[in-house]
Amino acid sequence: MLDSEYGCAPFVLKTANIRADKLVRLRSNLCFWTAPPEYSGRGRPRLHGNKFKLNESDTWIEPAQIINVNDSTLGLLRIRVWHDLHFRNAAKHSISIILVERLNEDGSIRVFKPLWLAWVGEQMSALDQVWRLYLRRFAVDHWYRFLKQRLHWTAPKFATPQQCERWSDLMPMITWELWLARDIVHDNPLPWQKSIDTFTPGRVAQSMGGVLARIGTPANPPKPRGKSPGWKTGQPRQRRNRCPIVKKGTSRPRKQATKSA
């Protein structure tokens, strides 16, 4: 599930060799093209068919499928899908476009800004289920926010890509530990916080000190303070890899020459 910034031809081209199903949100002002007609035998074969603009309904072709879904949270929905469409700069990569509209009980449009989705993959799920997959993106976004703010995912400054990958691999493991520990921790609210019954991941992380003190840690005990013995004799040393600093300069506007009176 990806945001609308990835709904473009360069993303489709760059990820064409990745065997994965991608569900991308689309901006409502994008323009697509249908499959080209059969070759007439004269001239260069056409790459594009008719124009399909999302915010101009008179350019739409007949949808491949239309269903109505009565969702318990969103209410009455009308979902349409079109197949074999493509971006102008990615004519060889066909995609499926899904339109989700919220309706009133009389069938009129309830929300005037519909949800446009693009499916790129091998086998699309049923139409009444595929649009629900995009709703999981919001939970994923909150998880990334939790990693950055509470678990300090982007705070360390590592020297090698291997160290960055290892630190990133620990983030899902820490999340699962917080999820499994939610039933054994005791609430430890800060002075300005209220006690709660259902613990959030951040509240569990706040109470993990008692669990870690009980089970111990495999880390070595802290070294005593004092004068360091220094580097061991004969132990090889290697300088840290230094990467060049990228500086972005700010361009100043040119001064216009004043005309002499």
Residue 127 lies in a domain: yes
Pull the structure tokens for residue 28.
């409502």
What does each C-alpha distance from 131 to 54, 102, 147, 251 come to in angstroms? 17, 13, 27, 45
User: Are 129 and 167 part of one and the same domain?
Assistant: no
pLDDT digits (tens, 9 = 90+) for 202-254: 888 988 888 888 888 788 877 777 787 788 888 888 888 777 877 877 777 77
Residue 178 lies in a domain: yes
User: Are 12 and 118 part of one and the same domain?
Assistant: yes
Span 98-109, mean pLDDT? Answer: 81
Residue 73 lies in a domain: yes
- Residue span of the structural domain in which 179 resides: 150-190+200-209
Residue 85 lies in a domain: yes
User: Are 11 and 131 part of one and the same domain?
Assistant: yes
What does the alpha-carbon distance between residue 154 and residue 109 come to, in Å, rounded to a whole number?
43
From its phi and psi, is residue 43 left (phi > 0), alpha (psi between -120 and 50) or beta?
A: left
What does the alpha-carbon distance between residue 156 and residue 171 come to, in Å, rounded to a whole number?
13
Residue 170 has pLDDT above 90, yes or no: yes
Residue 156 lies in a domain: yes
Which amino acid belongs to residue 25?
R
Most confident of 2-6, 83-87, 165-169: 165-169
Query: Mean pLDDT score of the chain, rounded to an integer?
Result: 84
From its phi and psi, is residue 152 left (phi > 0), alpha (psi between -120 and 50) or beta?
A: left
pLDDT of residue 175: 92
Residue 230 lies in a domain: no
Domain termination site, one of 209, 236, 251:
209
User: Are 51 and 165 part of one and the same domain?
Assistant: no
| Count of the separate structural domains present in the chain | 2
Span 83-92, mean pLDDT? Answer: 87
User: Are 112 and 163 part of one and the same domain?
Assistant: no
Within 8 A by CB and 6+ apart from 5, the residues are: none
User: Are 81 and 14 part of one and the same domain?
Assistant: yes
Residue 19 has pLDDT above 80, yes or no: yes
Is residue 110 classed exposed, middle or buried when 0-12, 13-18 and 19+ CB atoms within 10 A define those classes? middle
Q: Of 22, 18, 244, nearest to 124 (Cα)?
A: 22
**199 near 208, Cβ under 8 Å?**
no
Residue 261 has pLDDT above 50, yes or no: no
Pull the structure tokens for residue 160.
């090698």
Within 8 A by CB and 6+ apart from 40, the residues are: none
Three-state secondary structure string covering the chain:
CECHHHCCHHHHHHCCCCCCCEEEECCCCCEEEECCCCCCCCCCCCCCCCEEECCCHHHCCCCCEEEEEEECCCEEEEEEEEEEEECCCCCCCCEEEEEEEEECCCCCECCCCCEEEEEECCCCCCHHHHHHHHHHHHHHHHHHHHHHHCCCCCCCCCCCHHHHHHHHHHHHHHHHHHHHHHHCCCCCCCCCCCCCCCCCHHHHHHCHHHHHHHHCCCCCCCCCCCCCCCCCCCCCCCCCCCCCCCCCCCCCCCCCCCCCC
- For 38, what's the count of Cα atoms within 13 Å in the CB-facing half-sphere? 1
* pLDDT band at residue 171 using 50, 70 and 90 as cut-offs: very high
User: Are 79 and 40 part of one and the same domain?
Assistant: yes
Residue 160 lies in a domain: yes
What does the alpha-carbon distance between residue 127 and residue 25 come to, in Å, rounded to a whole number?
16
